[in-house]
Amino acid sequence: MFLSARIACGIVLPLLFAIFASGRMKGGYWLIGMFVAFGLGFMLPKLYVQRRASSRRQSVEDELPLFVDMLRLLQGVGLSLDQSLQVVTNDFRGMMPVLSSEVGIAQRQFVAGRTREQSMQRLSGGFENEDLRAIVRLMVQVDKHGGAVQEPLKQFGDRLRETRRSMLRERIGRLTVKMTGVMVLTLLPALLIVTAGPGFLAVTRALATHH
């Protein structure tokens, strides 16, 4: 499917270029344009998929703290792990669109007969997120052996929030450095004119009077 889309775009884009460039470009320029159009058409689906995957990974990173908190809350009111995941899938799709969808897929696979570990493989390995992998390992362990999960989830949620705060502080620090550079570049010339301008004018007048 993906290769078919790349081939289709690699054919359609050069055809469109040939239609619109017909009579306007000739010789070598037309040939170069066709090669460029083919390259762009062939690469566009890949670029789209990469951007889409990056967006989903970022969404998972943003949704994960809420996911952990909801699991802890639902476990705290006495729901089983399976019931908690079902509630997340059915009732929190608007707040966690990516994670609720992925958990829903895992739940359907679990109901179809796969083990919890097998059904969670897609969720664990599809987003390159170590925190998500750790949560999946915890859920698999609880499903196999039981045990209290609220305290580990609380500690995990606290760590996630602290990590996000640290990242936010780091981003603000980098932004402050960039803004300082911009302010120096934009305000320094004006400051030099204001501070050095009167002295320069005085020297100019003195030289003119001397001559």
pLDDT of the residue at 24: 67
Residue whose entry in the numeric block shows the structure tokens 């705290």: 76
* 21-57 core/surface letters (b: 16 or more CB in 10 A; e: else): beeebeeeeeeebbeebbeebbeebeeeeeeeeeebb
Give the rounded percent of residues in the chain with a pLDDT score beyond 70: 81
> For the segment 18-66, what is each residue's pLDDT rounded down to a tens digit?
777 766 666 677 677 777 777 787 788 788 888 888 888 888 888 888 8
C-alpha to C-alpha distance for 194 and 68, rounded to whole angstroms? 56
Distance CA 56, CA 97 (A): 10
Measured CA to CA, the distance from residue 99 to residue 125 in angstroms comes to: 13
Q: Which two tokens stand for residue 132?
A: 């998500």
Q: Would you tell me how many other CB atoms lie within 10 Å of the CB of residue 190?
A: 9
Question: How many degrees, rounded to 5, is the angle at CA 12 between CA 6 and CA 17?
Answer: 125
* pLDDT range class, residue 98, cuts 50, 70, 90: very high
Return the pLDDT at 19: 75
- Nearest one of 91, 103, 90, 92 to 139, comparing CA atoms: 103
- Between 91 and 198, the more confident residue is 91
Residue 211 scores a pLDDT above 60: no
CATH 3.30.1540 fits 57-167, yes or no: no
Where are the chain's structural domains?
Answer: 2-55, 57-167
User: How far, in whole angstroms, is CA 38 from its chain's centroid?
Assistant: 29
User: How far, in whole angstroms, is CA 24 from its chain's centroid?
Assistant: 41
Select from 83, 92, 29 the least CA-distant residue to 64.
92
pTM over 0.75: no
* Number of CB atoms found within 10 A of residue 87's CB: 16
- Residue 97 confidence (pLDDT): 92
Q: Which helix (H) or strand (E) holds 180?
A: helix 150-210
